[in-house]
Amino acid sequence: MTASTAAAPIAPATPPEQPDRPPARKRKLTGYWLLLPGMLWLAVFFVIPFYSLVATSLYDRTGSVLQGYDMAWQFSNYWHTLDDYWRPLVRSLWYGGLATLICLALGYVLAYAIAFKSGRWKNLMLVLVIAPFFTSFLVRTLSWKLLLRDDGFIVNALQFVHLLGSDGRLLATPVAVIAGLVYNFLPFMVLPLFASIDKIDHRLIEAASDLYSRPIVGFFKVTWPLSLPGVVSGTLLTFIPAVGDYINAELLGSPKQRMIGNVIQSLFTDANDYPAAGALSMMLMLLILAMVLFYVRRAGTEELL
């Protein structure tokens, strides 16, 4: 057999008249061409802006938008803004983290129910999860403002059972802001969780119970570990937007519940202090990146996408 392979060069096995041979090079280039427009868009309007943000955060703060800024490599911007705004920054992480945990608890119950308990209503329940979120974010948040108002039904009920004092309120408290965050970002938690749980073979859980696990043990030894990829992507997809959000803090909270988003927004649009706003944005981004990396490492699920 090897002899005939050696003979190949004498009688060319791949003669020039092979017009249709798929050219591997051309195929490779097609990939680049398909990718090019979208990648250019992302490069120009996502990557380069990030670079401008870094630059902006190092400008001389004494300039203004109208007169222009000077590049001063002012790393002190970071210290000064951190000094001024560390409270909202910490508060954002705290609110975002707590909201994410509550979302995880609620979302897990819901995702589990849809995946395993809904039977033929699975599709309908999934639609019901997503449907409310096609109504404007702001309009929904305004509804919560109405629901949580001081003489509203919820506050009255809580006062009646003495969970709130007679002059207690929900609006303009951390409770309202966190509740708003939970509500608004819940689908970001439910959908990845559902995708993960739905993939779990139900027979594995039966096998666990066959092997002497009570349901609760079976859950923690089988279901939960297998759903971890969904838990990881769900918590990230919830935490990241929740930390950066300022709509809930603005509509449901008071200045005491200002989050970092409120600060950045007002530094840009009201105070026109671009360097400070840029520095805060950068810090938020780096903080989130660091936390995400740490979290993904610990959770051990590298195949996030």
Q: How far is CA 247 from CA 8, 179, 208, 244, 266, in A?
A: 72, 12, 45, 10, 12
Q: Rounded to the nearest whole angstrom, what is the least distance from the CB of residue 173 to other proteins in the complex?
A: 18
Residue whose token pair is 């810090």: 283
Q: Which of 102, 183, 208, 231 binds other proteins (CB under 8 A)?
A: 183
Q: Write the interaction track for other proteins spanning residues 261-300; mark x where CB under 8 A is met and - where it is not.
A: x--xx--xx----x--xx--xx-xx--x---x--------
Q: What are phi and psi of 68, to 5 degrees?
A: 90, 160
Q: Write the interaction track for other proteins spanning residues 6-45; mark x where CB under 8 A is met and - where it is not.
A: -xx----xx--xxxxxx----xx-xxx-xx-xxx-xxx-x
Number of chain positions touching other proteins (CB under 8 A): 102
Angle at 50 between CA 45 and CA 51, to 5 degrees: 110
Q: Rounded to the nearest whole angstrom, what is the least distance from the CB of residue 252 to other proteins in the complex?
A: 11
102 lies in the binding site for other proteins (CB under 8 A): no
Q: Rounded to the nearest whole angstrom, what is the least distance from the CB of residue 45 to other proteins in the complex?
A: 4
Q: Rounded to the nearest whole angstrom, what is the least distance from the CB of residue 138 to other proteins in the complex?
A: 4
Q: Write the interaction track for other proteins spanning residues 184-223; mark x where CB under 8 A is met and - where it is not.
A: --x-------------------------------------
Structure token pair of residue 171: 């609006």
Structure token pair of residue 9: 């060069």
